[in-house]
């Protein structure tokens, strides 16, 4: 009897392959692992053996942010695809379920041992001693690891700060008490995360995954009333080190589920060891509609950095990395790169085109006055300018004379900053994007349709974006009495429609196999949802797999 397990795994890393190989080898059954668009595990045995293996797989195969789905079926024979070859493969990830099983077994010599060796995740460790030091660097004695972690938890409960060396770095941890500045939070008990934060099921699953990422979570309204955290959103992660896991177990006795941490604070005690372990990356993640977008990471293959660095334009570097990650060299893909930091680009790659084809050019004006002068050349727009000047003289004059030379990046994000000044959302170019912020606070579902227009051209490439039309339509709606937040939502919603229209227009010329979104604008929840809603379901939308969405 042969069972075939098929895994949909949205990464090119070998983590899933590694665990499948380790677990299958542990079963002593004949097996084969292959990799195509999916990862397949074929394993042969009688019904009882395969039932036992399925239980083993369920027990030891870790959750992953890249793991999407899996199926199992009985097949007549092992597939003839080429086997995946393992040659001294290593992974560098936090603890697995096998590690936890060993350190929580009260009958084991590894009970509460944070440096346990594991035959599943491959963890080995040469640390000889874990030391608890006081302020004078004097060692505090303990009888066993259980006693040690109990002491540290008691110190934290007494509001002492502890510098703890972990595989990611040394951090100073303390109890979460009232703070006026921004903090990062370690959750030691995910079962109680809702006491402080609003987290979806997908976000909790991501926090608990083998990668143990950081997520930015919103403080819930009930906890906000306590005025303990001054932030609306906080970077939160779960324990990613056995030292922190065991500390969390002891903190449960004091009903402490959250610690704040940083790298620079003063501290009262230190928990450390002399040996240097291989550093562990902490990925920063954004979960949108069950899609995991990687914001920060150093865990991806450095081959991707090599591909990215071959291009002077970050937009094209990101696009080529995405094509490589998905192996899309025989496809036609339209890529939208929209960023808060770099110049935007809309670019087409097709197997029938040599190289990349720029679809739209963005460029900044020298001044807002330059935009007004373009509008004055049109009879209808000229009347609009005059009416706007009369109704909002202070806003108009401020915009007319405002120096926008601080804007250096040719992007929609920069355009929105100009819009904010012209429409009086703010009197100056601000670091935060006021249009986007206002849109996110709008209580309505829809805003007015804003003109995102391109100059008429017979060519499908190198089209010119008409910034003055973007400004003109906004001024028209403001004169009509549309409030600032609703108007801002119109700008964001219409951007999504603009993306969708371009997809349809390009597809009429070159049949597309998909659309890709790169750049951190698309990691914004409102923008992402509106873009996905606007693009028709005929087009599959892709993101980078392992690479960050914004380099």
What letter would DSSP give residue 465? B
pLDDT at 278: 83
Consecutive H or E run containing 469: helix 467-479
> How many Å apart are CA 147 and CA 141, to the nearest integer?
10
Q: Which helix (H) or strand (E) holds 502?
A: helix 484-509
pTM to 2 decimals? Answer: 0.93
pLDDT of residue 355: 81
Per-residue model confidence (pLDDT) at position 219: 96
Tell me the helix, strand and coil percentages in the chain, rounded to 5: 35, 20, 45
Q: Would you state the pLDDT for residue 88? A: 58
pLDDT at 93: 86
Q: Cβ(333)–Cβ(514) under 8 Å?
A: yes
Residue with the bigger pLDDT between 102 and 86: it is: 102
pLDDT surpassing 70 at residue 89: no
Other CB atoms within 10 A of residue 46 CB: 10
Return the pLDDT at 276. Answer: 84
Q: Which two tokens stand for residue 458?
A: 């017979």
Question: What pLDDT score was predicted for residue 101?
Answer: 93
pLDDT tier at 354 (50, 70, 90 boundaries)? Answer: confident
Strand, coil or helix: what is 418?
A: helix
| Dist. CA 517–CA 526, nearest whole Å | 14
Alpha helix locations (H) across 62-172? 97-103, 145-157
DSSP 61: S
Q: Each residue of 121-146: pLDDT tens digit?
A: 876 677 888 999 999 999 999 999 99
Of 127-136, 238-247, 394-403, the range with the lowest mean pLDDT is 127-136
Average pLDDT over residues 25-48: 94
Give the span between the Cα atoms of 283 and 209, in whole angstroms: 11
Residues 6+ apart with CB under 8 A from 431: none
* pLDDT at residue 118, as a whole number: 86
Predicted confidence (pLDDT) at residue 233 exceeds the cutoff of 80:
yes
Query: What are the DSSP calls for 174-213, one per residue?
Result: EE----SS--EEEES-GGGGGGTEE--HHHHHHHHSTT--
- Report the mean per-residue pLDDT for the chain: 94
The single-letter DSSP state of residue 510 is: S
87-91, 177-181, 190-194, 242-246: least confidently modelled range = 87-91
Q: What are phi and psi of 12, to 5 degrees?
A: -100, 5
H helix or E strand, kind and range, residue 526: helix 525-534
Res 432: pLDDT? 93
Give the other-Cβ count within 10 Å of 413's Cβ: 22
Distance in angstroms (rounded) separating the CA atoms of residues 106 and 230: 41
Please provide the distance, in angstroms rounded to a whole number, between the alpha carbons at the two ends of the chain: 48
Banded pLDDT at 173 (limits 50, 70, 90): very high
- What token pair was written down for 265? 């604070």
Residue 58, SS3? helix
For residues 215 and 292, the answer to whether their CB atoms sit within 8 Å is: no
Q: Give 187's contacts (C-beta < 8 A, 6+ positions apart).
A: 193, 207, 236, 237, 238, 239, 257, 258
* H or E element at residue 247: helix 242-251
**Among candidate residues 30, 56, 28, 52, the one with its CA nearest the CA of residue 41:** 30
Going from the N-terminus, what domains does the chain have, and what CATH number goes with each? 2-75 (3.30.70.100), 97-272 (3.90.870), 361-499 (3.30.420.40)
**pLDDT(454) > 90:** yes
pLDDT tens digit sequence for 244-267: 999 999 999 999 999 999 999 999
* pLDDT number for residue 281: 93
Structural tokens at position 65: 């942010």
pLDDT on residue 303? 96
Beta-strand runs (E) in 338-453: 345-349, 356-361
CA distances, 29 to each of 3, 44, 188 (Å): 11, 6, 38
447-474: average pLDDT: 95
Confidence at residue 85, expressed as pLDDT on a 0 to 100 scale: 76
| Cβ atoms 71, 61 nearer than 8 A | no
137's torsion region: left (phi>0), alpha (psi -120 to 50) or beta? left
Instruction: Determine the Cα–Cα distance for residues 253 and 289; give it in Å rounded to an integer.
Output: 36
pLDDT value for 90? 72
Our measurement of the distance from residue 195's CA atom to the centroid of its chain's CA atoms, rounded to an integer in Å, reads 23
**Overall average pLDDT of the 99-128 stretch:** 87
Angstrom CA distances, 271 to 43, 157, 406, stand at: 45, 16, 47
Q: What is the CA radius of gyration of the chain?
A: 28
Distance of CA 27 to the CA centre of its chain: 36
Tokens coding 34:
């292959």
Residue 87 has pLDDT above 70, yes or no: no
pLDDT of 8 strictly over 90: yes
d(C-alpha 157, C-alpha 354), whole Å: 64
**pLDDT at residue 35 greater than cutoff 70:** yes
Query: Which residue from 389, 426, 385, 383 is spatially nearest to 404, judged by alpha carbons?
Result: 426
What 3-state class would DSSP assign to 504? Answer: helix
Which class for 97: exposed (0-12), middle (13-18), buried (19 or more C-beta within 10 A)? middle
- Where residue 360 falls among pLDDT bands split at 50, 70, 90? very high
- Give the C-alpha separation, 507 to 517, whole Å: 16
Please, which residues have CB within 8 angstroms of residue 9's CB and are 6 or more apart in sequence?
A: 16, 38, 39, 64, 66, 67, 68
């Amino acid at each position: 009897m042969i069972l075939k397990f098929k895994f949909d795994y949205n990464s090119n890393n070998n983590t899933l392959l590694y665990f499948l190989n380790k677990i299958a080898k542990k079963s002593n059954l004949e097996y084969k692992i292959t990799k195509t668009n999916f990862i397949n595990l074929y394993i042969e045995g009688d019904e009882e053996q395969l039932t036992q293996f399925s239980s083993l797989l369920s027990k030891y195969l870790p959750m992953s942010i890249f793991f999407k789905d899996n199926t199992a079926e009985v097949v007549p024979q092992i597939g003839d695809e080429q086997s995946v070859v393992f040659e001294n493969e290593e992974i560098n990830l936090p603890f697995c379920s096998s590690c936890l099983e060993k350190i929580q077994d009260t009958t084991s010599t590894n009970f509460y041992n944070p440096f346990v060796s594991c035959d599943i995740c491959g963890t080995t460790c040469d640390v000889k001693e874990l030391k608890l030091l006081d302020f004078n660097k004097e060692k505090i004695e303990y009888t066993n690891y259980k006693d040690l972690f109990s002491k540290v938890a008691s110190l934290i409960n007494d509001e002492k700060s502890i510098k703890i060396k972990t595989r990611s770095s040394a951090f100073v941890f303390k109890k979460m008490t009232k703070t006026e500045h921004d903090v990062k939070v370690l959750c030691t008990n995910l079962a109680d995360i809702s006491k402080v934060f609003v987290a979806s099921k997908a976000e909790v699953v991501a926090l608990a995954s083998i990668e143990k990422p950081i997520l930015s979570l919103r403080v819930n309204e009930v906890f906000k009333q306590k005025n303990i955290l001054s932030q609306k959103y906080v970077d939160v992660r779960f324990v990613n080190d056995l030292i922190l896991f065991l500390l969390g177990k002891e903190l449960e006795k004091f009903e402490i589920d959250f610690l704040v941490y940083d790298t620079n604070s003063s501290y009262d005690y230190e928990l450390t060891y002399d040996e240097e372990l291989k550093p562990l990356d902490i990925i920063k993640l954004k979960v949108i509609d069950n899609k995991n977008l990687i914001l920060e990471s150093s865990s991806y293959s450095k081959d991707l950095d090599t591909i990215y660095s071959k291009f002077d334009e970050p937009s094209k570097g990101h696009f080529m990395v995405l094509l490589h990650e998905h192996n899309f060299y025989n496809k036609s893909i339209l890529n939208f790169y929209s960023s808060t930091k770099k110049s935007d680009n809309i670019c087409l790659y097709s197997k029938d085109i040599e190289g990349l084809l720029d679809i739209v050019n963005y460029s900044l004006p020298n001044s807002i006055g330059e935009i007004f002068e373009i509008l004055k050349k049109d009879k209808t727009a000229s009347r609009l300018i005059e009416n706007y000047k009369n109704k909002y003289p202070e806003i108009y004059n401020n915009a007319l004379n405002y120096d926008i030379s601080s804007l250096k990046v040719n992007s929609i994000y920069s355009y929105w900053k100009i819009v904010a000044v012209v429409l009086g959302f703010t009197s100056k170019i601000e670091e935060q994007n006021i249009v986007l912020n206002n849109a996110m606070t709008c209580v309505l579902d829809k805003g007015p349709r804003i003109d995102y227009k391109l100059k008429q051209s017979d060519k499908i490439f190198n089209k010119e974006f008409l910034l003055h039309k973007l400004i003109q339509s906004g001024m028209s709606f403001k004169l009509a009495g549309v409030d600032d937040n609703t108007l801002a939502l119109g700008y964001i919603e219409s951007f999504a429609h603009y993306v969708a229209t371009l997809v349809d227009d390009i597809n009429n010329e070159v049949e597309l196999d998909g659309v890709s979104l790169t750049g951190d604008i698309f990691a914004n929840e409102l923008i992402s949802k509106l873009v996905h809603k606007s693009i028709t379901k005929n087009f599959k939308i892709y993101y980078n797999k392992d690479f960050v969405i914004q380099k």
